[in-house]
Chain A
Amino acid sequence: MLNLLRIELGKLLRGRIFWFTVLIYCVMILATFIPLSFMEDITGIIPSGLMDTQEMEQLNVDMEQVDEILTALQSGNNFVLAFYGASSGQFCVTMIFVILFIYVDFRNRTLQNTLLCGYSRKQVYFSKLITGYVGGCVYFIICIATVCLLGFGFYRMPLGGEILCTAFQLLLSQCVILVEFVAVYTATAFIFGNGWAFLGSTLVFTLLPGIPLISALLQGKNQFFSAAYMPSFISANGVGGFITTDMMLAMPKLWTPALVISALTVLVVLTAGSTVLGVRAFQKKRL
């Protein structure tokens, strides 16, 4: 099993799919951080990328909105928001990666090859699950690093101990949440593998808002809700609009014991349920 895991992790790190999705994700984070809502008023003037405050003032940008963003990003609490904003696409990217990572092995018949080398289907399944999870964690690390760098480099966010401590907490919380998402994606890929992975990914895309919605109903406004609905808030209200919504009020609830317990319950049920279904489906699958 360790041997198989070592091979799968090697495939992850040398795989085109992984680095392609990392690249896509970095682009997504940058796109989230570029305040398009106020940049659209200055069409034809902005050369490219992010600008500092002086440049924006010279270009008659609505500085009220800019101040709002700068203020938000300079505090630890809003670092949390900035992270959630940036990490909203992370679950989608992880899904694409996990499903393609498994689908390619189905398509190339290399999954069959692994089985013919004497590994059990459970071993193959769990090696893929763990590798997918490691990949997902790497996305989070990239996300946090990017948020820190962008905040520090472009929004004058102080990179002090408080921010780093928050970053670590976020990473920890998200890596816990990621378990259930990767479990669902892996199960879907194995259930719909053999050419049906793309149908599976579509279904998961449909389910993606459903999972946080169920969690939201159970737990109120929580991390699932904010992670899943962040893009729509940003597109509807702009980054400034997002920061000023009542979502901010929900964030302090993130660490309440009741929320943690209910989130962990959902996590265990979803992870265990999808894994049992996935393993069963894979064991019955004709390869």
Chain B
Amino acid sequence: MGETLLQATGIKMSYNKRPVLGGVSLEVKKGEICGLLGPNGAGKTTLLGIITGLIRPDQGEIRLFGKDFAPSALRRVGCIIHRPGLYGNKSAAENLRLQGMLLGIPEDRSEQLLALVGLSDAGTKKVGKFSMGMKQRLAIAMALMGSPDLLILDEPVNGLDTQGLYDMRRVLQTLNRENGVTILITSHMLDEVARLATNYAILRDGALRQFSSGEVREKSHRYAEIVTLDTAAAAVVLDAFVQGEDGYEVMPDGSFRLYHSLDRLPEINAALVKVGIGVQSLSLKAGTLADFYLDETGRGNYHA
């Protein structure tokens, strides 16, 4: 870690006078996998579009590989922005060959890349007949064509099946660990991002905040899981300890998730036992990335 590959500073952008990005700054260092998160419409794709020069910002500057943005720098970047640009009337192999020609790569790497993303059997099939997941796999293969130093992937796992998700995760992890490829990835599948990312950037209301995975672990919302034999009676006891609507929630299986008063768990346990409620288990759980994300972006009706 150290060298900054991507630096966006003070990016401002508005659509029809509605501000989308209000002075956003982002830094991605070599070797990182940065998960860019945010609610729908937060401006993630816009920010990636600005970083890759597809959108001109109202204000701000982009530096790639330590230099001011220049289109030629994108030859070292593999991108999937919004939805992949593919020729529907050409086969997957032809699309890859064309991408190779655009990047000025003399050797044909299409077979190797098709095998990497699990499309070996579909190499000659017209892309127009591909499913969304297959298109996404091909787009990833195209992004990898130029052996990039930096991968910018906007929702790359959309439409992928379980096997596809596993394969993609494996490919991205291998690229990062063995080839040192730096990755900036957005996805609404927070579990996948959590398994990949070394740090996070959360975009909301036009502002961006960056966190390391350690910070996320530390700050993520922990909770206690309580399993009792009498849910209704236990709820009465919990009400006495936990104030407010978002203090705990009852899960579909009748267990409780307690978010507040975690330091009073022994007292709560004793109170439940005292009134004769059988406590099957009581455990402290670490928060997930989803919990952290929801805390950062505002939980809204999450506990409702």
Contact = CB atoms under 8 A, between A and B. Distances in A.
A119 B70 CA distance: 9
A120 B71 CA distance: 6
Contacts of B104: 3
Interface residues on B, range: 20 to 34
B55 A287 contact: yes
Contacts of A121: 71
A117 B102 contact: yes
B171 interface: no
A4 B77 CA distance: 18
Interface string B201-217: 00000000000000000
Interface residues of A, number: 23
Interface of chain B, main secondary structure: loop
Nearest to B76: A118
Nearest to A283: B56
B101 A3 contact: yes
A116 B86 contact: no
Nearest to B82: A109
Interface stretch (B46-54, B179-187, B244-252): B46-54
A115 B103 CA distance: 11
A115 to B, nearest CB: 6
A15 to B, nearest CB: 9
Given A109-B86, A120-B71, 19 more contacts: A7-B102, A108-B87, A108-B88, A109-B82, A110-B86, A113-B84, A113-B85, A115-B74, A116-B54, A116-B77, A116-B79, A116-B81, A116-B85, A117-B146, A118-B74, A118-B103, A284-B56, A286-B55, A286-B56
Top 5 nearest A-B pairs (CB, nearest first) are A109-B85, A113-B85, A118-B75, A117-B102, A118-B74
Interface of B: 49, 52-56, 71-75, 77, 79, 81-89, 98-99, 101-104, 142, 146
10 contacts: A108-B87, A108-B88, A112-B81, A114-B102, A116-B74, A116-B79, A117-B74, A118-B71, A118-B73, A118-B75
